[in-house]
Amino acid sequence: MKISAPDLKNLTCFKAYDVRGQLGTQLTKEVAYNIGRGYGELLKPETIVVGGDVRLSSESLKAATADGLRDAGVNIIDIGMVGTEEIYFATSHLGVCGGIEVTASHNPIDYNGMKFVSAGSRPISADTGLLDIKAAAQSQNWTHPKKPRGTYTKTSILDAYVDHLMAYIEPKNIKPLKLVMNAGNGAAGHVVDALEQALRAAKVPFDLIKIHHEPDPSFPNGIPNPLLPDNRADTTQAVRKYDADMGIAWDGDFDRCFLFDETGAFIEGYYIVGLLAEAFLQKKSPHNQSERIVFDPRVYWNSEDIITTCKGVPVMTKSGHAFMKQAMRDVNAVYGGEMSAHHYFRDFFYCDSGMIPWLLVTELLSVKNQPLSHLVKDRIAKYPSSGEVNYTVDDAAAVFKRIEAFDWGETPTVKHIDGLDFIFDKWRFNLRSSNTEPVIRLNVETRADTALLVEKFKLVESLIS
């Protein structure tokens, strides 16, 4: 079957937060060149960093993007095969004007994409310039820069990046732990290896068991996306086989990490947000008793409870990395977390990291001298949640209208921070539309009542379908 080349006047690979598209039909080297040229012509950076994940197409797409940038007069620093957060780190650490990571993260094997930041590792999304880059790439109305073609150099920031990661823990606090590390044959393996050396040098008593460790663009063990239940079995089995204290698995570009307790059970990202909030608030200076923690409105009762109990200040904002990062900057939050396993850190330039969370949780396990299952057991019982369930619908607006008109038998508080948030005394739910597909997403939680959770979930679901 012949693959139709993408229409350069109608680039469908641009999404709300990044570029993602099918190779050949939506994303090619020509498209990548124009995106790089558009970025350079529009933002006029002096120097940016570029990197790419393990996919077969990433190196050629990165080279084409760099060519476009250089033709716009931009100097390139190529940091090699890296995860997205290494681009975040390099942009701020090197003090350059921006960065581009070529990655498809957890998308199908025949896809690729790009993530963009400007100076200070600030995200470039649809609201902050991404659509302008799209327009420039489509118009191809290039100017001829007065300065010469940009330079190209290669460097590694791995040592400095690992030093930064190590600063989040106090090695003397950590007790012996056996950890399963599942890189999913993605980009995380080289960082795990470098961290292992740094941890040994600091005399941190970790025993790391690595599975699916080597980068492999064929993804022989499946596309790395532990958010999908079908992709968790290998980590669960390894934790049980090796009698490990915890399992950690990453997606392809490792900006998200997923944790498994000592029984191999997957821990929903929602409850990890609470753990990390507690970890930061316990570390805070006694002179600053009001650290802000940002979270998204899909599920939040547990996070809110922990933050206020630890004398922090809870701040809710719309889901999505651009909103989370801006909200954190606005209130100078020390940490922000989403149920989707994106975790953001003030000292990491307000960016998300898939490496910092597991390091912090290991320290918390050691300080509290409890296994992970015990740390989350009471929280799950206190605030049980449904997890996010997606529904394909023809008319999302009609569903939302039906939900708002329904007679609930009690008067809820209704908020519209992100979709619909209906809050009752003992339960609540959030319903929001996807930015990229005809899908609505439902989350339900209750106050210590699993029977009520099941009952109300079925009720809301009946109004959707």
Q: Give the whole-angstrom CA distance, residue 117 versus residue 101.
A: 9
In 229-365, the DSSP E strands lie at 246-250, 257-260, 292-295, 313-316, 335-337, 343-345, 351-352
Decide: residue 3, CB within 10 A, 0-12 exposed, 13-18 middle, 19+ buried: exposed
Nearest to 217 by CA among 327, 350, 52: 52
Q: At a CB cut-off of 8 Å and minimum separation 6, what does 335 contact?
A: 276, 277, 280, 293, 294, 343, 344, 345, 346
Q: Give the whole-angstrom CA distance, residue 384 versus residue 203.
A: 38
Token couple for 12:
């469908």
Q: Give the whole-angstrom CA distance, residue 302 versus residue 275.
A: 10
Would you give the distance in Å from CA 46 to the centre of its chain? Answer: 28
Among 105, 121, 303, 319, the one annotated catalytic: 105
Nearest to 182 by CA among 234, 241, 107: 234
Q: Which residues pair with 345 in a beta bridge?
A: 335, 351
Q: Give the whole-angstrom CA distance, residue 297 versus residue 315.
A: 10
Strands 389-392 and 439-446: antiparallel
Asked about 105 being catalytic, the answer comes back as yes
If you search the block for the tokens 């799950």, which residue do you land on? 380
Nearest to 239 by CA among 228, 251, 226, 252: 226
> Which residues are tagged catalytic?
105
